Amino acid sequence: MPQYPDFIIGSMRLGSWGKNLSKAELKSFVDRCLELGLNHFDHADIYGGYTTESWFGDLIKSDSNYQKAIQITTKCGIGYIADQHPEHYVKHYNLSKDHIIASAEQSLKNLGVEQIHSFLLHRPDYLLDPEAVALAFEHLLSSGKVKHIGLSNFSYEQSVLLHQLQPLDVLQLEISAMQPDLFSTAIPGFCQLENIALSSWSPLGGGSIFSPRPDEKCQRILKVLQALQGKYNSDIDNLLLAWLRTHPAQIIPITGTAKIERIEAYMTRGKFQLDRQDWYLVLQAARGEKVA
């Protein structure tokens, strides 16, 4: 199983799709993450309309210490309509062998790293050829361009199919108290048995629970978490992260914030797990009913 730090730093909102940090702000943010021991950054080729990898890569290329210290996850496979790709006239998926290989090579150039730590297929392609995917993965691994391979947003059945052809190292999925359906699937057990790392994007539910007008589900979850704050001496953010980290699949949260103070809080106050019954209290609130 690949080794990751306590949290993976999500990069989608750092660039033009989010906070749009200046170069100086990005350097300060990355430097503080590294000081905290958080050296793994999650990217995708489409972030920022195909601009965020290169923008982040400018920082990596500026100092050989970054090239040595920073590890990268990036993803490919979504054909996004953007100025950078005028040939795209419809949003689509492309997981052909040639596209996967070309995407990895482009990401290496964009980011200025010698090897991509974890290279993932971003979303399932309806025209997917499993054997072609396996050949692409085999090429990237054998060439040393990629250290680990995996999938993002694939179902259990799709993951098992590809794992049989080329063993996977990591799955990245939407998992949170607001989106707990994964725990009713075979994926957590599959990852544990096959020694596959499991990471969670949007571990705080995209901030829905912090909305000024949370929906009924979020209100139920919020009520439970507020009641648990005193017991764990924790804020809502870290209780949500602890809920994920309590699972024996050792789920790795991917942060979605550009605010370094929140990441500092995750590191200093977020390393705990919930009691079993408290874990189920949160699940019950998410489902709106008791477990069977």
Here the tokens at position 236 are: 């809502």
- Please pick, among 4, 47, 50, 66, the residue that the annotation labels catalytic: 47
- Distance, CA of 176 to CA of 16 (rounded, Å): 25
Residues comprising the chain, all counted: 292
* Residues facing residue 150 across a β-bridge: 120, 170
Here the tokens at position 199 are: 């990471």
CA distances (Å), origin 158, targets 171, 183, 221, 252: 11, 17, 31, 21
Here the tokens at position 243 are: 């809920």
Q: Which among 5, 9, 4 has a CA at the least distance from the CA of 260?
A: 9
Catalytic residue at 47?
yes
Q: Which among 48, 143, 63, 130 has a CA at the least distance from the CA of 97?
A: 130
> Do 177 and 205 contact (CB within 8 A), yes or no?
yes
Task: Show which residues are catalytic.
Answer: 47
